[in-house]
Amino acid sequence: MSNITVIVQHSGHWNETTNYTAFKVVGLLVAPNCDYAKLLGMICNELQLKTESTSVIIEYQAKDGYPPFKIVDDLHVMFYLELKKREPELTKYPL
């Protein structure tokens, strides 16, 4: 199966209407069998973060104004990747 395109928005903040704003963006190609550790490693590598000295929170929003979903383990990664596979729009569900 082919890789899944994932947009990562970072260095921004959640505003009062629960939307992530003032961010920078990068793109990743994620394998469909990716686990939490690999995803975290890819994000940290792309953003040049050291996992041992940085706390990374991985979240995405299902729709505007909706509270963000957190990704904290392999099951959450599997759910997120399944969601991304079903959505053809590249910018839908950014991390």
d(CA 2, CA 47): 24
Q: What residues in the chain have per-residue pLDDT under 70? A: 1
* Alpha-carbon gap, residue 36 to 31, rounded angstroms: 12
Give, as one character, the DSSP assignment of residue 92. S
How far is residue 29's CA from residue 4's CA, in Å, rounded to a whole number?
A: 6
**What pLDDT was estimated at residue 66?**
82
Report the pLDDT value the prediction gives residue 65, as an integer from 0 to 100: 77
pLDDT at 37: 95
pLDDT attached to residue 80:
96
The pLDDT, as a whole number, for residue 23 is 92
Report the candidate in 55, 67, 62 with the shortest Cα–Cα distance to residue 84.
62
Residue 1's contacts (CB-CB under 8 Å, 6 or more residues apart) are: 32
